[in-house]
C-alpha cells in the first residue's frame, strides 16, 4: 500500500487549498482514508476521514463547514478541500489509510488505527 500526497503550500488567511492523496495497493474500496495534521509543538490530530466504500465522512469540529473530503474513484484519489483557512490551520498534513471502516467511525480519529501513511505536506496560513 502506498499513499502519495500533494497540494500543500502557503496562503493568506481566508484562502483555500486542496490536498490530494493517491492511494494504491488496496484490492477493493473497503478502507478508510484519514487526514491528520501536526503543528509545531503539538500532537498530531485527525481532521477528516472518508470511508471509500460508501463515502461516509467525519470532520473535527474545528474544521467542519470549512474542510471537505471527497474521492475520485477512477484516479484512486482522495481530496481534502480546505476553505476559509486560518493561521491555526498551519501544520504538516498527512493522509493515512486503514483497511475496513472502523478507523473512520472513531471520534476523534486515532493515529493508532491507521497503518499506512503518506509523506506529509506543509500548509502555511499567514
pLDDT value at residue 97: 97
- Note the pLDDT tens digit of each residue in 37-58: 999 999 999 999 999 999 999 9
Peptide bond into 53 cis (omega under 30): no
pLDDT value at residue 29: 87
Task: Determine if residue 109 is left, alpha or beta; phi over 0 gives left, psi from -120 to 50 gives alpha, anything else beta.
Answer: beta
Average pLDDT score over residue span 67-82: 94
Amino acid at each position: 500500500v502506498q499513499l502519495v500526497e500533494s497540494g500543500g503550500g502557503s496562503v493568506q488567511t481566508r484562502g483555500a487549498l486542496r490536498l490530494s492523496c493517491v492511494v494504491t495497493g488496496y484490492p477493493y474500496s473497503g478502507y478508510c482514508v484519514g487526514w491528520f495534521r501536526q503543528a509545531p509543538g503539538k500532537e498530531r490530530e485527525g481532521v477528516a476521514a472518508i470511508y471509500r466504500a460508501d463515502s461516509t465522512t467525519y470532520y473535527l469540529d474545528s474544521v467542519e463547514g470549512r474542510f471537505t473530503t471527497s474521492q475520485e474513484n477512477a484516479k484512486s484519489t482522495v481530496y481534502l478541500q480546505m476553505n476559509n483557512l486560518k493561521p491555526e490551520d498551519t501544520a504538516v498534513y498527512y493522509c493515512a489509510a486503514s483497511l475496513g471502516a472502523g478507523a473512520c467511525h472513531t471520534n476523534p480519529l486515532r493515529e493508532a488505527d491507521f497503518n499506512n501513511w503518506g509523506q506529509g505536506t506543509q500548509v502555511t496560513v499567514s
